[in-house]
């Protein structure tokens, strides 16, 4: 069915955002006024982690520049062409001056317009009206001129539903991964930060509990214990005082990361070395927002590198810089996942790989790198004004208390299947994203019928 071609100004109302008054700044403490920045954009909906907020006393000064549910927003300065839909959570949120809102849409049309704007055709339209070489900018008059294929309402709804069903499955897999990672981190925290099994053993044996662990010990008394003698016996039943870390389980070793692992920084690269290749470069943009297990956004790389700067699936990497100056990434860990698209993965200068001497220490170090203490340590050892840099020795010099090898094997045996599931989910996400990106332009152009697209999706999910 043919579509009518309309310009965006015929479909929506277009309005820019607003910067904070000079001298004012955002806050990380949550309130009712989240502030949407360009770096929050790019997904179908805005993520709710890592947000910043407009202070209550400042909001009245920019209150006219807010977004509403079912608005579509598009980045217009610097990184141009990121698109997101405003959901219920961000209703009445403030928007940066570096994005524009497209308002007056129904829920269905917001989804349809979102999918069109992220399609190759939509991105080409955005590129056509983008100006500026050093600092790209999409002016509001350019947005008004963007052409959109505007099918009848029923077909717009069908296209939005078809593509939305794929994104729903993708989002479900991502939520499952967050749950799996949270389960692994909760176990790490209980065993190796709160020392719950050691406290339980000490209470059972009648041994003394250090003062700083007494509150936790009282909490443990009221918890019904599961009968897991084999694991419980791997933990000691008393604590000992150490110079750097205070009270730790007796028999565990007070060490630094450099005592059990080699930390290798990546390499600098030239833009001319980024080209179609079977080697990919892991940069800051490869990290999931805030760190985490997923690595994506890889760049093809043709430059030279040392063998030790190549990473493989299962390697632990840490971000060593943060261009946002907001500690969203600096010091954050990620695990390299399987990626059959490339034969080689190389880390950039912004990234370091942490290689433990014993493989069973890998998941322990990953859990350690996600702790608040590790993040605070790294932030205190970072410098820079425009770009935050982590000092070379910040990670190697971090202190830890290393459990027995048998206990690390036990921990690995429990959490490794969780991360295997994460890895499998990511593979499925990539396949679904590929299918979505294949169907999207064909549906928008009318090349593919709705029924045929639905059959392909049913087969995939």
- Split the chain (461 residues) into runs of 10 and give each run's mean pLDDT: 84 93 92 92 88 94 94 93 95 94 96 94 93 88 94 93 93 93 96 96 94 94 81 94 95 96 88 79 71 68 87 89 64 83 83 92 95 89 79 93 95 95 90 90 86 87 79
* Number of structural domains found in the chain: 3
Shared domain check, 308 and 380: yes
Cα angle for residues 11, 161, 422 (degrees, 5° grid): 120
The region, left, alpha or beta by phi > 0 then psi within -120 to 50, assigned to residue 389 is beta
For strand 94-95 and strand 399-402, is the pairing parallel, antiparallel, or unpaired? Answer: unpaired
Q: Taking the model in full, what pTM does it have?
A: 0.84
What whole-number distance in Å separates Cα of residue 359 and Cα of residue 397?
A: 20
Shared domain check, 68 and 140: yes
Domain boundary among 386, 402, 418: 402
Terminal Cα distance for the chain, rounded: 27
Shared domain check, 159 and 210: yes
Domain boundary among 91, 115, 150: 150
For strand 34-36 and strand 94-95, is the pairing parallel, antiparallel, or unpaired? Answer: parallel
Shared domain check, 451 and 413: yes
What whole-number distance in Å separates Cα of residue 9 and Cα of residue 144?
A: 5
pLDDT (0 to 100) of residue 166: 93
Shared domain check, 178 and 145: no
What is the sign of the dihedral through the CA atoms of 56, 78, 64 and 107?
negative
Shared domain check, 274 and 200: no
Shared domain check, 395 and 343: yes
pLDDT (0 to 100) of residue 191: 97
- Structure token digits, residue 178: 């967050």
CATH of the domain at 382: 3.90.220.20
Please list, residue by residue across 116-152, b when 16 or more beta carbons sit within 10 angstroms of its beta carbon and e when fewer do: bbbbebbeebbeebeeeeeebebbeebbeebebbbbe
What is the sign of the dihedral through the CA atoms of 441, 444, 449 and 453?
positive
Contacts of 79 (CB under 8 A, 6+ apart): 38
List the domain range (segments joined by +) for residue 81.
4-150
What whole-number distance in Å separates Cα of residue 442 and Cα of residue 453?
A: 9
For 118, half-sphere exposure in the C-beta direction (CA atoms, 13 angstrom radius) is 24
Shared domain check, 289 and 169: no
Shared domain check, 157 and 146: no
Shared domain check, 390 and 274: yes
Q: Which residues pair with 20 in a beta bridge?
A: none
Domain boundary among 402, 428, 447: 402
Evaluate whether 320 touches 390 at the Cβ level (below 8 Å): yes
For 39, half-sphere exposure in the C-beta direction (CA atoms, 13 angstrom radius) is 16
Shared domain check, 26 and 142: yes
Shared domain check, 124 and 169: no
Q: By C-alpha distance, which of 43, 32, 12 is closest to 288?
A: 43
């Amino acid at each position: 069915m043919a579509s009518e071609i309309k310009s965006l100004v015929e479909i929506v109302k277009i309005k820019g955002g607003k910067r904070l008054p000079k001298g004012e700044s955002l806050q990380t403490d949550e309130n009712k006024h989240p502030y949407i920045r360009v770096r929050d954009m790019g997904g179908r909906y805005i993520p709710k982690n890592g947000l910043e907020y407009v202070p209550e006393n400042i909001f009245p000064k920019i209150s006219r520049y807010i977004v509403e549910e079912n608005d579509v927003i598009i980045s217009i300065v610097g990184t141009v062409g990121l698109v997101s839909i405003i959901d219920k959570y961000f209703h009445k949120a403030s928007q940066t001056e570096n994005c524009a809102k497209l308002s007056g849409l129904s829920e269905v049309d917001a989804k349809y317009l979102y999918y069109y704007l992220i399609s190759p055709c939509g991105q080409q339209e955005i590129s056509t009206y983008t100006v500026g070489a050093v600092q790209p900018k999409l002016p509001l008059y350019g947005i008004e001129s963007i052409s959109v294929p505007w099918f009848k309402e029923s077909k717009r709804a069908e296209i939005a539903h078809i593509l939305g069903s794929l994104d729903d499955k993708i989002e479900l897999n991502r939520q499952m991964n967050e749950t799996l990672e949270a389960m692994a981190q909760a176990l790490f925290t209980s065993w190796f930060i709160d020392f719950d099994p050691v406290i339980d053993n000490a209470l059972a044996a009648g041994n003394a509990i250090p003062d700083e662990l007494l509150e936790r010990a009282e909490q443990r008394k009221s918890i019904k214990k599961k009968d897991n003698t084999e694991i419980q016996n791997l933990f000691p039943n008393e604590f000992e005082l150490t110079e750097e870390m205070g009270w730790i389980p007796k028999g565990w070793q007070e060490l630094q990361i450099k005592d059990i692992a080699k930390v290798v920084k990546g390499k600098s690269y030239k833009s001319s070395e980024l080209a179609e290749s079977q080697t990919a470069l892991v940069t800051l943009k490869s990290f999931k927002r805030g760190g985490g297990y997923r690595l994506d956004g890889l760049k093809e790389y043709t430059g030279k590198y040392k063998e030790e700067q190549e990473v493989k699936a299962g390697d632990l990497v840490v971000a060593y810089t943060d261009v946002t100056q907001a500690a969203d990434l600096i010091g954050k860990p990620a695990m390299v996942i399987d990626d059959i698209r490339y034969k080689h993965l190389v880390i950039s200068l912004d990234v370091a790989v942490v290689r433990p001497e014993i493989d069973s220490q890998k998941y322990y170090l990953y859990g350690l790198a996600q702790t608040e203490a590790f993040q605070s340590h790294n932030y205190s050892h970072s410098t820079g004004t425009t770009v935050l840099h982590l000092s070379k020795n910040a990670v190697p010099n971090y202190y830890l208390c290393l459990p027995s090898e048998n206990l690390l094997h036990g921990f690995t045996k429990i959490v490794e299947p969780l991360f295997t599931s994460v890895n499998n989910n990511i593979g499925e996400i990539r396949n679904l994203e590929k299918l979505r990106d294949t169907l999207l332009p064909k549906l928008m152009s009318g090349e593919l019928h709705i029924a045929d697209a639905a059959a392909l999706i049913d087969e995939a999910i």
